[in-house]
A and B are shown apart, each in its own frame.
Chain A
Amino acid sequence: MKGRVLAPGSVTARAIVLREPLSLWGGMDPATGRVIDARHPQRGESLAGRIVVMPAARGSSSSSSVLAEAARAGCAPAGILLAEPDLILAVGAAVAEELYGVRVPIVVVAPEELAGVADGQVVTISDDGEITPV
């Protein structure tokens, strides 16, 4: 499948599919990459180094900062796959690259295609937005 690139980069990593929407601010500790949202079913799991699959976005406009800070701390997701464009995450990734040279590729794909990515599956994101299972 191929999607629209919001933040460029190429990476291969294991996917984690979020079962509920998650705001990175208030939802992920940037110092560890762990989910801290008390109501989230995946609380305690780590997003660091994973390709995070987010069927829907939610919440705070501070998520740009949290993504950039996680990148600085080496605990950012390896990449993010979205069903809808998210300006806040795209800008967080742009700043992470500008300040620290850390790329967090973000790609938007159609919801039905996104549903084809299984939790735990290893996938590759390419610079052109191509997503391939490994």
Chain B
Amino acid sequence: MRLVVRAAEALRAERLIPITSAHVDSCLYHGEATVDFVERLVNGGAQVSVPTTLNVGALDLLHPELWRGDARTAERGRLLMGHYRRLGCTPTYTCAPYQLAFARPALGEQVAWAESNAIVFCNSVLGARTERYGDFTDIACAITGLVPDAGLHRTDARRATVVMRLAPDIPAALLDDDALYPVLGIVLGRRAGGRVAAIDGLPAGQSEDRLKAIGAAAASSGSVAMFHAVGSTPEAATLDAAFQGGPPDATVEIGLAELRAARDELTTAAAGGAPGTPIGTVSLGTPHASLAELRAVERELAGDRPAAGVELMVSTGRHLLAEAEGDGLAPRLRAQGVELLVDTCSYIAPVLRPSPLPAMTDSGKWAFYAPGNIGVEVIFGSLRECVRSAVRGSVWRDPDLWGAA
């Protein structure tokens, strides 16, 4: 309760309001402080008072053989994950709880979600209301069932203040390709910072996977907790609705040159990951892959396997993996040389085979954090480029994707 009050003070809230559910990020081991904290709660007999899902932990509890780190870190990471179950949390261990029917709050519901991509998805795509909660606060809110009545819990703060208008020079084919969306998210995060932006100019009815990619990247390059995509997100049926009838404070135009530059900055490998560059690893599924994305991997593999020496790993949630096992998708992917990781992510846990060669990813977030976290050089590409490059063992580029250079 002291932490919730501290949070309320920081946000200058006048009162606390009840929540219906929570998503907790604190179960990822960052050192002994994370264990010391939860042990105080466990020893005090605390229990969550609302349905609470868990974010990723330090290791894949279902496939512990994938762990390549030291035994003690694995043991402490596992202990931490278990402690949060003891507090009454549901062991989902996914950064994409919004993919689980039982964990999706309805439009307008007040919740406490942590993990930057989950926060932005919750606010933007589900229209449920959460502030940008972090470790410790998340579980404190889940135990008390209360949050400060402040920030994005309140209607007025959910109003867009800036328009991000897509320029007419962006090719229609690019608007229709998944590869655009994480890059657009990187630009959104940089341009919006912590403001709520409304993206104008995307085709209406964008898929949840694309909106997920925008949000995850925007919360990496900026501190975005909510965005509107006009015609796609529930509080932005029209541009006017996103602004709640008021005028925008600012309008920013985003053109092809800025998007291309942001795409290029996601690559750290030498020569910008030019076609033919040998790769050692392909990592997909950050945030956790949906069933549609797992099917897309199978489709792009088209019966092939990764080249000798190339590891193709896809991260997903354990509940989705169970579904994919049931309908034969997961066994088919494994038979084609795909490694499936759950409960964690390949830029958090030491699970990738060590390689001196760069790693390729379709995730803006993975490209952003993996070099610092696990010390790899990164090449960013679309899912199709990633899978086909895995099969070749070197970078393949889709020549038509980003328009003529």
Q: Which residues of A contact B (CB under 8 A)?
A: 6, 21, 23, 25-27, 30-31, 36-39, 56-66, 68-69, 71-73, 84-88, 90-92, 94-96, 98-100
Stretch at the interface among B220-228, B332-340, B350-358, B379-387: B220-228
When C-beta atoms are compared, the residue in chain A nearest to B219 turns out to be A59
Q: Is the CB–CB distance between B10 and A90 below 8 Å?
A: yes
Q: Is the CB–CB distance between B137 and A72 below 8 Å?
A: no
Q: Is the CB–CB distance between A85 and B10 below 8 Å?
A: yes
Q: Is the CB–CB distance between B31 and A72 below 8 Å?
A: yes
Known: A38-B371, A95-B3. A87 touches B33 (CB 8 A): no
Q: Is the CB–CB distance between A71 and B221 below 8 Å?
A: no
Q: Which of A30, A39, A60 has the most CB of B within 10 A?
A: A60
Pairs across A and B, CB under 8 Å, 18 listed: A26-B369, A30-B31, A56-B193, A56-B194, A57-B223, A58-B223, A60-B220, A61-B115, A62-B135, A65-B26, A65-B34, A69-B34, A72-B32, A87-B7, A87-B10, A88-B137, A94-B6, A100-B33
Q: Which 7 A-B pairs have the closest CB atoms?
A: A88-B134, A69-B31, A38-B371, A61-B134, A65-B30, A69-B33, A68-B33
Mostly, the B contact residues are helix
A99 to B33, CA, bound (A): 8
Contacts of A58 in B (CB 8 A): 189, 221-223
Smallest CB separation, A56 vs chain B (Å):
6
Q: What 1/0 flags go to B30-42 for Cβ under 8 Å of A?
A: 1111101100100
Q: Is the CB–CB distance between A63 and B134 below 8 Å?
A: yes
B119 within 8 A of A: yes
Q: Is the CB–CB distance between A61 and B25 below 8 Å?
A: yes
Contacts of A86 in B (CB 8 A): 10
Q: Which of B40, B116, B133, B221 has the most CB of A within 10 A?
A: B116
Contacts of B328 in A (CB 8 A): none
Contacts of B136 in A (CB 8 A): 64-65, 68, 91-92, 94-95
Known: A57-B194, A69-B31, A72-B31. A87 touches B36 (CB 8 A): no
When C-beta atoms are compared, the residue in chain A nearest to B36 turns out to be A99
Smallest CB separation, B384 vs chain A (Å):
26
Q: What 1/0 flags go to B158-195 for Cβ under 8 Å of A?
A: 00000000000000000000000000000001000110
Smallest CB separation, A77 vs chain B (Å):
15
Known: A26-B372, A57-B223, A87-B137. A68 touches B11 (CB 8 A): no
Q: Is the CB–CB distance between A27 and B137 below 8 Å?
A: no
Partner of B223, one of A38, A39, A59, A69: A59
Smallest CB separation, B31 vs chain A (Å):
4
Q: Which of B33, B220, B369 has the most CB of A within 10 A?
A: B33
Q: Is the CB–CB distance between B116 and A60 below 8 Å?
A: yes
When C-beta atoms are compared, the residue in chain B nearest to A67 turns out to be B33
Smallest CB separation, A67 vs chain B (Å):
9
Smallest CB separation, B326 vs chain A (Å):
32
Contacts of A100 in B (CB 8 A): 33
Q: Is the CB–CB distance between A71 and B3 below 8 Å?
A: no
A1 to B120, CA, bound (A): 34
Smallest CB separation, B308 vs chain A (Å):
29
A113 to B116, CA, bound (A): 29
When C-beta atoms are compared, the residue in chain A nearest to B220 turns out to be A59
Partner of A87, one of B25, B132, B368: B132
B277 within 8 A of A: no
Contacts of B132 in A (CB 8 A): 61, 87-88
Smallest CB separation, A73 vs chain B (Å):
7
Smallest CB separation, B119 vs chain A (Å):
7
Smallest CB separation, A63 vs chain B (Å):
6
When C-beta atoms are compared, the residue in chain B nearest to A94 turns out to be B6
Known: A26-B369, A88-B134, A90-B7. A31 touches B268 (CB 8 A): no
Contacts of B48 in A (CB 8 A): none
B311 within 8 A of A: no
A90 to B6, CA, bound (A): 8
Q: Is the CB–CB distance between B30 and A66 below 8 Å?
A: yes
Q: What 1/0 flags go to B5-25 for Cβ under 8 Å of A?
A: 011001110000000000001
B373 within 8 A of A: yes
Q: Is the CB–CB distance between B372 and A27 below 8 Å?
A: yes
Q: Is the CB–CB distance between A62 and B134 below 8 Å?
A: yes
B131 within 8 A of A: yes
Smallest CB separation, B393 vs chain A (Å):
25
Contacts of A31 in B (CB 8 A): 31
Smallest CB separation, B357 vs chain A (Å):
17
Partner of B134, one of A6, A71, A85, A91: A91
Smallest CB separation, B53 vs chain A (Å):
14
Partner of B36, one of A60, A72, A84, A91: A72
Contacts of B221 in A (CB 8 A): 58
